[in-house]
Amino acid sequence: MGNIYSLVMAGGQGTRFWPESTSKKPKQYLPLVSSQSLLADTLDRLDGLVKNEQRYIVTVKEQEKLVLKESAGKIGQGQVVFEPSGRNTAPCILLSLATLMKNGASKSDLVAILPSDHVILNKNGFQQTIQSALKVAVSQKRIITIGIPPHFPHTGFGYIQTGEELTETSLDVVTFKEKPNQETAISYLESGKYLWNAGMFVAEIGVLLEEFQAHCPEIFEFYDELYAALGNEKNVAEVYAKLPAESIDYAIMEKSSRIGLCKANFDWNDLGSWDALSTVVEETEGNTLVSAKNHYFEDSKGNIVYTPDQFVGLIGIEDLIVIANGKSVVVLPKKDSQKVKNIVSHLKDQEYGKELL
């Protein structure tokens, strides 16, 4: 097996965790479930699996200071890949692979591509799953994605349909499915053939490049230009602007016949919205107290509270999300947590919104 690299994707805006997550400090840089940020937790999870000098973070230039602060001592020097402009995940990953190759990686080396803002509570189980996926990636010459066994018919995740066994620890992938409606999600769960798509996958660098060339030549055709431009920020930006904006799922994962799957052996949460915190933060007096200076709860239960620098008092309320961060106060039913994006959309059209987003 070759060297193992990691690409931690950290360029997202995390608007569903507004008002705490903003363009100036997105969700992955926040300490939502531990004393350190989600990004720092993600990097710590790689200890013993990927050497510091083989860990790379992929983000945008605007987040440079945040990345360097949260990754201090956890990655080698100069191991941040800056996306020059928003082109979605396929161009971003191609640029990152070119960077790895420029910095001495070989096509037989492996790379694990991971999100920066998910919660994984079982580090050992995570590492065992990734190690298993790496072995299958080498033996089968495939891209191996990580599938999460579904606990209930979730309509907020994409699904992966599995087929025959590839090895004792892996399955063939039949197809990727978009987020389903409730009825379809129930049928997926009952079939036992579908897993949640966690957006994590591993492969040999050479296999990924082959699949880029086979399934999205309109992106891959710029690989040599990108490689040659590396080291000159202006030249990279000029080449990168030519690449079509496509997600890695659409560009490769949904088209390739070389995709396999390993089932996750760990607890996972993508923290897609505020209500998800109730599943990863222990209860305090019947409520999820994520952060508060002090609190008083009376006849209140099932609430999610995030007021890091303030006292909060709740009397006689249930199943609400209560957020106050010094600039904004947001209160909404837990079941409507996704509607935070409606507030964000409103603020984008307001002059005063620039200070809050």
Task: Name the DSSP letter for residue 334.
Answer: G
Coil, strand or helix at 258? coil
CATH number, domain with residue 213: 3.90.550.10
Closest alpha carbon to 281 in 336, 325, 321: 321
For 110-124, the pLDDT digits (tens) are 999 999 999 998 999
Mean pLDDT of 31-56: 96
Instruction: Please give the Cα distance from 64 to 345 (Å, whole number).
Output: 26
Question: Which DSSP string corresponds to 63-111?
Answer: GHHHHHHHTTTTS-TT-EEEESS---HHHHHHHHHHHHHHTT--TTSEE
**Do 265 and 286 lie in a common domain?**
no
For 206-251, the pLDDT digits (tens) are 999 999 999 999 999 999 999 999 999 999 999 999 999 999 999 9
Given a cut of 90, is residue 77 above it in pLDDT?
no
**Do 318 and 184 lie in a common domain?**
no
Q: Which pLDDT value is given to residue 186?
A: 96
Q: Where are the alpha helices (DSSP H) in 216-308?
A: 217-220, 223-229, 233-240, 248
The domain in which residue 330 lies consists of 274-355
Instruction: Please give the Cα distance from 304 to 312 (Å, whole number).
Output: 11
**Do 237 and 117 lie in a common domain?**
yes
To the nearest 10°, report the CA torsion of 212, 214, 216, 219: 60
**Do 174 and 306 lie in a common domain?**
no
For 262-283, the pLDDT digits (tens) are 999 999 999 989 999 999 999 9
Answer whether 163's CB lies under 8 Å from 172's CB: yes
**Do 278 and 265 lie in a common domain?**
no
Q: Which pLDDT value is given to residue 88?
A: 94
**Do 239 and 297 lie in a common domain?**
no
Instruction: Please give the Cα distance from 1 to 131 (Å, whole number).
Output: 11
**Do 324 and 250 lie in a common domain?**
no
Q: Which pLDDT value is given to residue 288?
A: 96
**Do 94 and 107 lie in a common domain?**
yes
**Do 253 and 313 lie in a common domain?**
no
**Do 301 and 243 lie in a common domain?**
no
| Residue spans of beta strands (DSSP E) within 105-153 | 110-115, 119-120, 143-148
pLDDT, the chain, mean? 95
Instruction: Please give the Cα distance from 317 to 105 (Å, whole number).
Output: 56
**Do 206 and 235 lie in a common domain?**
yes
Q: Which pLDDT value is given to residue 289?
A: 95
Q: Using pLDDT thresholds of 50, 70 and 90, give the confidence band for residue 49.
A: very high
Instruction: Please tell me the total count of domains within the chain.
Output: 2
| Phi-psi label, residue 159: left if phi above 0, alpha if psi -120 to 50, beta otherwise | beta
For 2-14, the pLDDT digits (tens) are 899 999 999 888 7
Domain end residue (candidates: 269, 286, 312): 269
Q: How far is CA 176 from the centre of its chain?
A: 17
Given a cut of 90, is residue 1 above it in pLDDT?
no
Mean pLDDT of 142-163: 95
**Do 32 and 84 lie in a common domain?**
yes
Domain end residue (candidates: 269, 293, 320): 269
Q: Which pLDDT value is given to residue 95?
A: 98
Instruction: Please give the Cα distance from 145 to 171 (Å, whole number).
Output: 10
Domain end residue (candidates: 252, 269, 286): 269
Phi then psi for residue 288, to 5 deg, are -95, 100
